[in-house]
Amino acid sequence: MRVIKNWVIKYRKEIFTYLCLFICFLILARANVMHKIYPYAFSFLFTLIYLNKNVLILSLFYFVSMFIQNPTIEGIIIALSTVSVAVLAFLIFKIAKKKMPIYAAYIFCILSQAGFLYFNINTTYQIVTSCITILVGLCFMYISHIAFSAIFFRGLQSRFTTDESICFGLFLIAFFSGLFGMYIGQVNLSFALTVFALLCISRFLTKSATIYFSVIAGLGFSFVNASVIFIAIFAIFGLICACFSQNTRIFPSILLLLCDCVFGLFLNAYAMYNYLNILTLLACVLLFLCVPNSLFCYLKNFSWSYDGELASDFLILGKQEEFKNKLLELSSLFRLMQVEYRDLSIGNVNKQEYCDMLTNEIITRHCALCINKDVCSDNQQIKEGINQLIAFGIEKGKVTILDANNLLMGVCKDISSLISQVNVALKSYFEYREQVCVSDQGKMLVSSQMGATGKIFGELASKVQQEDVLDHKSATLILNELTQAKVVVNECEVISSKQGVKQVVLVVRNSDVVRPEICKVLKDVFGINFSLLKQTFAHFAGWSILLYQPADKYKIMVGYAQKAKDGVNGDTYAYKKIGSGRYLFAIADGKGHGEKARRLSSAALSVIESFYKSGISSETVIASVNKLMLPAGEENFTTIDICVLDLSLGKADFVKIGATVSVIKSGNQASIISSDSLPLAVMENIYPKTEQKVLKIGDIIVLASDGVVDAFTSPESFADFVNNEKIINVQMLAESILEEAESRTTHQDDMTVIAVKLNQNFA
C-alpha cells in the first residue's frame, strides 16, 4: 500500500490529467450533430497522440467510451479500427525516432475511419453523412490542437490568445453538447453539474472567465436542444455569479435558486420542471457552500485567476517609490548644505542706536570716577557732544584730541580719559559690525539657496509632468508574441514617450522568469535590446512582476592615475553612476596643494555628485555649488572638470568651471574641449557653458587636472600626445599620460588623469 501511495503522490499530476481526458472522451463520445454525426471522439484521440500523450492509455479510454455509447458488434469493430490505426501511427514514428508532423496526424485520422466508412456507405445519404463526419472531425481536430497545445505547453495559468480562446470555446461547445441530456431517473444531472461548476469557477477565476464559461455552456446546451433558451438562462446565471460570488457565496446561491424557480415555474423555460429539479439544484448549491475556501485558494493560484491589475499597481507604486527616493536624496543634499550654514549668525546694525548705547555706557564708566559726576550725568550738552564724537569716530575709525576739543572743550574736565574710552568702544563696534557683515553674507547665501531650491523642485515637477503614455498596441503585440513563444504571461504595460519606449512591465509565471524568449520578443517588437531592471514577487502566488528597460547601447572602460606634489593630493576625482545609463566623471582641483586644497576640492565635488544624482540640471548644480562655496573666501577657489556620459545615446556633456582642456581621441584624430569660465567661489554669479559631443565606438575621453596639462607646452601639445598613444587599455593610457607629464616639468603640481573608453554593449 505504501508503494502505491508513493506512486500516486509522485504521479498525481499525470493521474489527474488522464482522468480529465477520460471524462472528455466519455462526454465527446455522446456529442453529436443532429443525432447522426459523431465526429468528436476520434479526432480528439489523434489530437492527443500528436501532442505526445500516452497512446495505449488514450486508446483504452477511447475504446471504453465508444463501447459505453454503442455496445454493438458494429460499434466495437469501428472502435477497434480507430484504435489500431492510432497505435500503428505511434509505432511508425516511434521506430523512425521522429516526431509526428501535423499533416501525418490528419492523414492517420482519416484512415482511422475505415471501419466507420465500411458500415456507412451503403446509400448516397450515408456517404454524404460519412464525409461530413470526417470533415467535421478534421475541423474539430484542428480546434482541439490549438486549444490543448496552449494548455499542455503553457498550463492553465497562461493567458490565451484570441485564436486559442475561440478554439477552446468551440471545444467546450462540443463538450457541453455531449454533456446535455444525462439523466438519473427524472433528474437532469448535466444541468445540475454545470451549475455547480459555474458556482465553483466564479470563486477562483475572473469575472470575464465566469461569464465566458456560462455563455459557452448555454451555447452547448442550446446547440443540442435547438433552442436559444439555455443561452439566456446560463448568461443570467453567469452574470449573477460574476457580480456577487467574489465576496460571498450565500447571496449568489440564493439568487440563482430564485432565478431557476422563476424560469421553471413562471416562464416555462424547461420542458419538464418539478420538485426534483429544485431539490437537485438545491443539493448542488449546498455542496458548493460546503467546499472549503482553501480549495478555491489553491485553484486560484493554480489558474489564470485575476483581472490584470498587478502591472498597473506596480507602475503606480513604482512612481511613488521613485519620487520618494528623489525626495530622500534631496533631503540628504540639504543636510549636507546645512553643515555650511552651521556657524552663520544673523544680526542687524543700527548706527544711531549703537551711538546712543555707547554714549550712555561711556558716561556711566567715565563720569563714575570724575569729581564732577553729579553735574555731568545730567548735562545734556556733554551727552550730545559724546554722541557726536562717537558718530565722528565711526566715520573715521577712531577719534583724536582735536576731535574732542572741537566738541567738548570747556565742558569735560578729563578729555584724555574720555577719548580713550571712546576708542575702546569704537573698536568693539567695528568688531561687531564685521560679524554682522559675515552674517549678512549668510543671509544672502540662504536667500540664493532657497531660490535654487525652488528651481530644483520646479525641475522635479517638470519631470513628473513629462508626457509618458501607455502604449496599448505594443503591449497587446508583446502579449501575443510571448504567448506564441509558450511563455506564460498575464499582463503587459508599455510606457513610451516622444523619445521612444521607456519601460515594459510584465506579469509572468515564476517558472518563466528566466526564459530568454522574453528579451527576444521585446527586441523583435521594438528593434532594440532590453535588460531586466527589477523583479518583484506578486501578491498572487506563482507570479512575478518584471520591469524591463532599453539596455545601454554602449559600455565603458575606465582608467585613472594620480600623483601628489607633497604627500596629500589636492585633486579629487569622481566616477559615479547617476541614473539609468548615465555616468559622472569629474576632477576637482582646489587652490594650491596639500590638505587645504584637498578639503576644498572634496567638499565641492561631494555636493556636485549629490546634485547630479538627484537629477538636477548642470546649470542649477554649478550655480548652487558656487554660492555654497562663496563663504569660504574668494581666494579659496576650486576648478571643476565634469563629463556626464549617456550610454544609451552615446553622448557626452562637458561642463568646465575654470578647468583646463579635455581631449576626445577618435580614431587617428583628437579634439579639444575647452572653456573660459572662472573657477568656483570667485564671483557670486557664474554661467558655465555645457558642450555636448556625440561619440562613436572606440572613442576615448581624457580628463586631466592643470598639473598634467600645464606640463606640456600647450593644450595642443597635450592633445597630440594623447592622439599618438597607441595604448588600447585605458588604465595603461592614464598611467602613460601621468608619466609623460612628470617627465616634462620640474615644478610639479598635483596631477590627476581619468581616461574613459566607449565600447559596444553586446549583452
83 in any annotated domain: yes
Same domain for 207 and 332, yes or no, is: no
Same domain for 588 and 672, yes or no, is: yes
Same domain for 362 and 315, yes or no, is: no
pLDDT at 237 over 70: yes
456 in any annotated domain: no
pLDDT at 669 over 50: yes
Rounded-to-integer distance, Cα 32 and Cα 179, Å: 11
Most confident of 29-38, 144-153, 314-323: 144-153
Q: What is the pLDDT at residue 1?
A: 63
pLDDT at 735 over 80: yes
458 in any annotated domain: no
Q: Which domain holds residue 721?
A: 554-760
Same domain for 221 and 316, yes or no, is: no
Q: Which residue has the higher pLDDT, 716 or 467?
A: 716
Same domain for 593 and 697, yes or no, is: yes
Q: Which residue has the higher pLDDT, 456 or 289?
A: 289
Same domain for 748 and 696, yes or no, is: yes
Same domain for 208 and 266, yes or no, is: yes
Q: What is the pLDDT at residue 436?
A: 62
151 in any annotated domain: yes
Q: Which residue has the higher pLDDT, 355 or 480?
A: 480
What does the mean pLDDT of the chain come to?
Answer: 80
Residue 332's pLDDT band (cuts 50, 70, 90)? low
- What is the tens place of the pLDDT at every residue in 112-136? 999 999 888 888 888 888 899 999 9
pLDDT at 220 over 70: yes
CATH classification at residue 591: 3.60.40.10
Most confident of 6-20, 291-305, 442-456, 543-557: 543-557
Cβ neighbours for 474, distance < 8 A, ≥ 6 positions apart: 494, 496, 501, 525, 526
Give the mean model confidence (pLDDT) for residues 735-759. Answer: 87
Range name among 30-34, 100-104, 285-289, 717-721 with the lowest pLDDT average:
30-34
447 in any annotated domain: no
Rounded-to-integer distance, Cα 142 and Cα 137, Å: 9
For residue 476, what is the enclosing H or E element? helix 472-484
Among residues 495, 520, 549, the one where a domain terminates is: 549
Same domain for 692 and 748, yes or no, is: yes
pLDDT at 347 over 50: no
Q: What is the pLDDT at residue 317?
A: 60
Range name among 427-441, 557-571, 618-632 with the lowest pLDDT average:
618-632
Show the beta-strand stretches assigned E in 294-334. Answer: none
Same domain for 575 and 680, yes or no, is: yes
Residue 678's pLDDT band (cuts 50, 70, 90)? low
Please compute, for residue 723, the number of CA atoms within 13 A of its CA located in the half-sphere on the CB side.
16
Give the mean model confidence (pLDDT) for residues 49-62. Answer: 92
Phi then psi for residue 54, to 5 deg, are -65, 120
Rounded-to-integer distance, Cα 80 and Cα 480, Å: 41
**How far is residue 80 from each of residues 116, 264, 698, measured CA to CA in Å?**
10, 44, 72
Same domain for 544 and 558, yes or no, is: no
pLDDT at 84 over 50: yes
611 in any annotated domain: yes
720 in any annotated domain: yes
Q: What is the pTM of this model?
A: 0.59
Same domain for 225 and 186, yes or no, is: yes
- What is the tens place of the pLDDT at every residue in 374-396? 655 556 677 777 777 777 777 77
- What is the tens place of the pLDDT at every residue in 167-176? 999 999 999 9
- How many domains would you assign to the chain? 5
Q: What is the pLDDT at residue 29?
A: 92
457 in any annotated domain: no
Q: Which residue has the higher pLDDT, 329 or 735?
A: 735
Q: What is the pLDDT at residue 345?
A: 41
Among residues 501, 533, 549, the one where a domain terminates is: 549
Same domain for 15 and 145, yes or no, is: yes
Residue 309's pLDDT band (cuts 50, 70, 90)? low
Residue 518's pLDDT band (cuts 50, 70, 90)? very high
